[in-house]
Amino acid sequence: MGKFINRLKLLWLRIRRAISPVYIGLLCASFLLWYILKLQYTYTTNFSVLINVDGERLRVPCVVEGKGTNLLGYRVYDRKELKLPLSDLKYSEESDYGDNGELLGRWIVLDPHSVHNAISVRFSDIKVISVGDIPSIAIPEPMCEEIK
């Protein structure tokens, strides 16, 4: 490991003699300015949104469009979740029965269009183009008994 560090130091000294520190500083500044200018363009990208539907956390894949600065801001805060009440969404309930007619489980299937509208309203500066597959929400067993 010591040989590797010594070789890096020698390489740094050679580069420092050959290239001016002012040149490296200006090269870094030009790269930074170029990157800032590129962030002003409009981009389309895949983005997954964490939503909380009455206590159930779901990750929904979306295709979004917006300026690079806005998209970068949402990427930084992608752990933040959107709280969506189930009463604001359209949904259907599905049951799964076994071969002998026994109820195996019940799920809430969210309507993609209503989820798309709910997410779009909460993102003001980026446009949500489409929403991918939305996972179903399992209804717990005690609630299954109440629904019957």
Mean per-residue pLDDT for 116-143? 85
Lowest mean pLDDT among 18-27, 47-56, 69-78, 122-131: 69-78
pTM recorded for the entire structure: 0.70
Predicted local distance difference test score (pLDDT) of residue 26: 93
Strand partners, 71: none
Domain boundaries, the chain: 2-37, 41-147
The encoded tokens of residue 142 equal 């005690």
Predicted local distance difference test score (pLDDT) of residue 128: 92
pLDDT tops 80 at residue 137 = yes
Cα diameter, the chain: 82
Q: CA–CA separation, 61 vs 130, rounded Å? A: 9
91-97 and 56-67: which strand pairing?
unpaired
Q: Which residue has the tokens 């909460």?
A: 122
Whether the CB-CB separation of 110 and 137 falls below 8 Å is answered with: yes
